[in-house]
């Protein structure tokens, strides 16, 4: 994947967040969907923070990713409350449906599947999060419907793109 506008993106994120490394990295990640290797030198120079410290923070926090993620990030909770209500079966079914394992991204870069140990919404369990949106009391059927909604959205985007070109 080609990474464009590194200097501009980093500049914009630094202007917005000042010298605060974590918010700068968070904004860069929202732009690219992950932290590409190309940004590290630029961030280090702009914030005047040693490169090793920028890497240190980016690799310390689980919320940062150094590998590209899909357009849709699907997170299935496997914490105890969700697990006993079927979270594991939901995760397995989504994995099968997408043809990937948790932690992986589909080759078309459309979906990343993740699992976590608690999302702090145990009363709603089992919980599945799609791009930051929480969906509670999930079932296998509901999670397949969610996937299909994402797929429909992707199809619409493709149609729009091809009608523009
Ligand atoms: S165990 Fe799933 S939200 Fe807490």
Ordered per-residue pLDDT tens for the chain, 165 residues: 567 789 999 999 999 998 899 999 999 998 888 999 999 999 999 999 999 999 999 999 888 989 888 889 999 999 999 999 999 999 999 999 999 999 899 999 999 999 999 998 999 989 999 988 999 999 999 999 999 999 999 999 888 877 766
Domain annotation covers residue 39: yes
N residues, the chain: 165
**Domain that residue 50 falls in:** 6-60
Q: Domain for residue 67, yes or no?
A: no
39 with 81, same domain?
A: no
Q: Is the CB of 130 under 6 A from ligand 1?
A: no
CA distance from start to end of the chain: 21
| Cα 90 from Cα 127, distance rounded (Å) | 10
Is 129 inside any structural domain?
A: yes
- Flag whether 104 is in a domain: yes
CA 112 to chain centroid, in Å, comes to: 7
Whether ligand 1 lies within 6 angstroms of the CB of 129 is answered as no
Ligand 1 near 70 CB (within 6 A): no
Single out the residue of 98, 99, 75 nearest to residue 87, CA to CA. 75
Q: What is the CATH number of the domain that holds 103?
A: 3.40.30.10
Q: Is 100 in the pocket of ligand 1 (CB under 6 A)?
A: no
Say which residues have a Cβ less than 8 Å from residue 96's Cβ, sequence separation at least 6.
Answer: none
Contact 43, 6 (CB under 8 A): no
At 69 the pLDDT is: 87
Q: Which of 81, 115, 137 to mutate to test the pocket of ligand 1 (most atoms within 8 A of CB)?
A: 81
Based on the fold, state whether residues 92 and 154 are members of the same structural domain. Answer: yes
Q: Is 82 in the pocket of ligand 1 (CB under 6 A)?
A: yes
pTM of the model: 0.77
The pLDDT value recorded for residue 105 is: 93
- Assigned domain for 37 exists: yes
- Report residue 31 as tokens: 């732009």
Alpha-carbon torsion angle 20, 24, 26, 29, nearest 10? -160
Q: How many domains does the chain have?
A: 2
Question: Which atom belonging to ligand 1 lies closest to the Cα atom of 121?
Answer: 3
């Amino acid at each position: 994947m080609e990474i464009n506008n590194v200097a501009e993106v980093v500049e914009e994120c630094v202007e917005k967040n000042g010298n605060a490394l974590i918010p700068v990295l968070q904004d860069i990640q929202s732009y690219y969907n992950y932290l590409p290797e190309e940004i590290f030198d630029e961030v280090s120079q702009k914030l005047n923070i040693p490169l090793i410290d920028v890497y240190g923070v980016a690799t310390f926090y689980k919320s940062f990713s150094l590998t590209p993620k899909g357009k849709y990030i699907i997170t299935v909770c496997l914490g105890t409350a969700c697990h006993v209500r079927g979270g594991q079966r939901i995760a397995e079914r989504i994995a099968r449906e997408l043809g990937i394992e948790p932690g992986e991204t589909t080759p078309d870069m459309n979906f990343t599947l993740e699992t976590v140990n608690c999302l702090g919404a145990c009363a709603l369990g089992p919980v599945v999060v799609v791009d930051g949106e929480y969906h509670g009391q999930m079932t296998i059927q509901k999670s397949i419907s969610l996937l299909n909604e994402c797929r429909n959205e992707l199809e619409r985007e493709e149609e729009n793109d091809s009608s523009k070109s």
